[in-house]
A and B are shown apart, each in its own frame.
Chain A
Amino acid sequence: METPGELAAALDRVGYLVDEGLATAAFLALRMSRPLFCEGEPGTGKTALAKALADALGTPLIRLQCHEGIDAARALYDWDFPRQLLHLRAMEARGRTDDAEAELYTRRFLLARPLLQALETPGCVLLVDEIDRADDEFEAFLLEVLSEHAVSIPELGEIRAAEPPVVVLTSNRTREVHDAVKRRCLYHWLEHPGLVREVAILRRRLPELTEALATQVATAVSRMRAAELLKPPGVAESLDWAQALLALDRPILDAEAAALTLGAVLKYREDADRVVAKGLDALLA
């Protein structure tokens, strides 16, 4: 792919619509072999971007979901102790334990966790999801893997990626990620799409959705985003909503259909109350 436009077209073919900014950001991340650091409101398609990139490039997606307390044993590699133990017993039974160590610490007994898997899968897309949920110590260690594209395992030696993975990091900004990590990355802030693009996304993802219904859903959702809600709905919620309407065989979004399916788009009682109090007719008019 030679231009951001070509990448946008490739992402379009796998059902992910991008604007020029995101296309340029992703294009540069590929060309410069730098991780792409995506931030934005929940439901703006940060995680979906990584999936679409993997589909468009025809490479596997490896996902590392961060959480509090994630450590090297869960993100990088771990030794398979039970298997090592069994092997040791088997060796004993055969009466040869002199070269036990050399035989026990081989690649065969190493469990590859997502980061190591990504280094061993040439050209794959590595998604480090919600990095802000991991502890700050984890960042330092992630930084090492991201900048060197290699890990060193004391018992085994260094494992280096033949071809560095395409890395996408996402964050919901619950915590500030360390500058050292951000400096290695390209940064992109994702926003909710405009009305026209949201209609296009809905129709692209749900082909059986009519233009009219897609427009109704997108209009109502954009009005909800403008109303001051605790959790403004993202694209993921519009998709859920449209899907709910399809499942109920509702060809148009009227007040009755909206009342039945509001739970697909608003996830807080206060938000639902506020929208209902303002009048569902006003939302849909």
Chain B
Amino acid sequence: MTDPLPGLAGFAAVLRADPVRVQAYLEALSHVDVAEPSQVYWAGRVSLCAEPDDIPGYDAAFAAWFGNVPTRTTGNGRTRRRTTVSAPLVAPMSGEGDGEVPELNVAASDTEVLRRRDVTALDGAALKELLATLRTDPPLRRSVRTRRSRRGRLDPDETLRELLRSGGEPVRLRYRRKRLRPRRLVLLIDVSGSMTPYSDALLRFAHAVVRRSPPSTEAFTLGTRLTRVSRQLRLRDPDQALKAAARAVPDFAGGTRLGETLRVFLDRWGQRGLARQAVTVVFSDGWERGDAALLGEQLARLRRLAHAVLWVNPHVGRPGYAPVQSGIRAALPHVDRLLAGHSLATLDELLTEVRRA
């Protein structure tokens, strides 16, 4: 009989898995009956997958390599979508600057002028440079953990330790105070057709914010479906991060179902804890193709979970803007602040609001 192992190892190569995982996979195979397809399937799944989103990809690769996926014994096979459809990232419209805001400060420096210009009128290099100047410190919250301090609550442990050091003689009292930790920040970015001019700039902005404090910042795109892009945006290089995010998002410049995608966000992520006590920022123009009542309902849910909900609408900065779109009108009662986000200066204001929230 031929040794089945090379074929099985080849499968791991197809998946381009992490070598540490491949090693675990090969070790797992040595403990199961490799003649039994379901055993091979499960040995691979537990050693090569790391999150539920990996499973559809694993299943597809398994089916391609071994013919078919052994029937799953668990029931209600909720299909998990996989975001592989690639979509080109839309280049920002350049030049025209038709939605430009009047520049107020005549004597301002070039940077100051650029900072107030609509981001759709900026070229890539200028945008990159300006994004680097933003102060992207995360919002803070008090942790339950404490640290030593000169004031605050008495620290019995440390005082006792001090006592012990001096042989039980009464000494100085020690104090502790609550530490500050970054508060979670969740960015929800509408990438539907009507937001196309801003998608690229907003994702670049999200990259700058995510990079500043990766573990406490999460980013999702909203359109006809929800895509989590936090992982992609953690890449250091902005261009690579954006490319990766574009590959992950299947619905660039498509329709909008804000209420529905927000519901998916809350069901899959928000309610479990991601949005709990977080500062949540929704970037959208509020053009809702779906049911505006559903959007209002979901935002009310988000408001109950989150620490603060901010809504950023690039059109707010335009002269003569009124919040009349059905989506915005349904959302407004559940939003803490409605802000503009069409220029670097307004994005900077947003960050200040986030820190203050």
Contacts and interface: CB of A to CB of B under 8 A. Distances in A.
Q: Do A and B bind each other?
A: yes
Interface of A: 3-4, 19-21, 24-25, 27-28, 31-32, 34, 36, 39, 68-69, 71, 81-82, 84-85, 88-89, 92, 97, 100, 104, 132-133, 135-136, 172-176, 179, 182-183, 186-189, 191-198, 222, 225-226, 228, 230-231
B46 A174 contact: no
B75 A174 contact: no
Nearest to B42: A24
Contacts of A24: 32, 39, 42-43, 46
B20 A132 contact: no
Nearest to B215: A136
Contacts of B230: 176
A175 B24 contact: no
A181 B43 CA distance: 19
B76 A222 contact: yes
B96 interface: no
B74 A81 contact: no
Contact of B74 (A19, A88, A97, A228): A19
A178 to B, nearest CB: 9
A179 B50 contact: yes
B315 to A, nearest CB: 32
Contacts of A182: 50-51
Contact of A4 (B32, B74, B164, B181): B32
Contacts of B143: 68-69, 135
Contacts of B27: 32
Contacts of B31: 27-28, 31-32
Interface size class of B (residues with CB under 8 A): 35 or more
Interface in B11-33: 18, 20-21, 24, 27-28, 31-33
Nearest to A194: B75
B160 interface: yes
Contacts of A31: 31
B271 A231 contact: yes
A153 B159 CA distance: 21
B182 to A, nearest CB: 11
Given A24-B46, A187-B50, A82 B160 contact: yes
Interface in B222-281: 230, 263, 267, 269, 271-274, 276
Given A81-B160, A189-B52, A230 B42 contact: no
B12 to A, nearest CB: 14
Nearest to B72: A21
A27 B31 CA distance: 9
Contacts of B164: 81, 84-85, 88, 104
Nearest to B74: A191
Most chain B beta carbons < 10 A, residue from A89, A136, A172, A176: A176
Most chain A beta carbons < 10 A, residue from B27, B31, B160, B163: B31
Given A21-B72, A92-B168, A176-B51, 4 more contacts: A25-B42, A28-B43, A85-B164, A173-B272
B55 interface: yes
Contacts of B276: 174
5 contacts: A20-B42, A27-B31, A88-B168, A186-B47, A191-B78
